[in-house]
């Protein structure tokens, strides 16, 4: 079972309906947005974990989320926690770019996507934390697991979208916007726009990650 499968199992029909209400759309579209958003978050984690220090920082951060219950928590606290996670995973500018790409895909205002991403990030973090704890994963095992999750997300029904968001897609609207964000974009026009979001996650890797 993938992290996305676990996420939807935890959300249930009522949770998905609430997200659809937040997005102002139907549940089918909401499901696609959640898949794309969670896939982007997982992809960002996987990219950070490619570096040994980043993997270790993430593994340490997971211990802080083992007993968390983001599926029944206060929305304000959930969003605050999610902002911290997204800051480490994508950086502020990277999160905005991811929201813009998902917005293009789903036809939903990017500001609305920006409200959803911080809510989903702690959920993904908690699911990964529980998996790592149950399976006694070290940093290397977490990195490998995230890489498999990233590959699984990109091979699913949203492969074209996630391929672009996670850096595996070719040139195109999403590829041009987000391809370099998570390490896969090679287009020259993106070279000046991308250094800041690339640096932000790496800067967080060497810290104690108090906001994870």
User: Which H or E run includes 42?
Assistant: helix 27-49
As a whole number of angstroms, the distance between CA 206 and CA 54 comes to 7
User: Which H or E run includes 25?
Assistant: none
Place of tokens 């041009």: 176
As a whole number of angstroms, the distance between CA 140 and CA 36 comes to 25
Each of the 212 residues of the chain gets a pLDDT tens digit; together they read 999 999 999 999 999 999 999 999 999 999 999 999 999 999 889 988 999 999 999 999 999 899 888 998 788 999 999 999 999 888 888 888 889 888 988 899 999 999 999 999 999 999 999 999 999 999 999 999 999 998 887 776 666 666 666 554 433 333 333 333 444 333 322 333 333 333 333 333 333 344 56
Phi, psi of 36 (to 5 degrees): -65, -40
């Amino acid at each position: 079972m993938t992290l996305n499968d676990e996420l939807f199992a935890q959300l249930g029909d009522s949770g998905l309906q609430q997200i659809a209400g937040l997005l102002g759309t139907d549940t089918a579209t909401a499901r696609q947005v959640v898949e794309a958003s969670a896939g982007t978050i997982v992809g960002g984690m996987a990219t950070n974990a490619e570096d040994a220090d980043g993997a270790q920082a993430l593994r340490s951060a997971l211990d802080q989320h083992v007993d968390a219950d983001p599926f029944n928590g206060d929305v304000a606290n959930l969003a605050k926690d999610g902002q911290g996670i997204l800051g480490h995973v994508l950086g502020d500018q990277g999160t905005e770019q991811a929201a813009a790409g998902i917005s293009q895909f789903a036809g939903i205002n990017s500001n609305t996507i920006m409200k959803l991403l911080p809510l989903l990030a702690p959920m993904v973090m908690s699911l990964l934390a529980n998996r790592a704890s149950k399976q006694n994963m070290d940093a290397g095992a977490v990195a490998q697991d995230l890489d498999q999750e990233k590959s699984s997300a990109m091979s699913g029904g949203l492969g074209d979208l996630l391929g672009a968001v996670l850096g595996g897609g070719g040139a195109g609207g999403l590829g041009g916007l987000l391809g370099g964000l998570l390490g896969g974009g090679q287009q020259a026009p993106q070279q000046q726009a991308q250094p800041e979001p690339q640096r932000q996650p790496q800067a967080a890797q060497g810290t104690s990650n108090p906001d994870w």
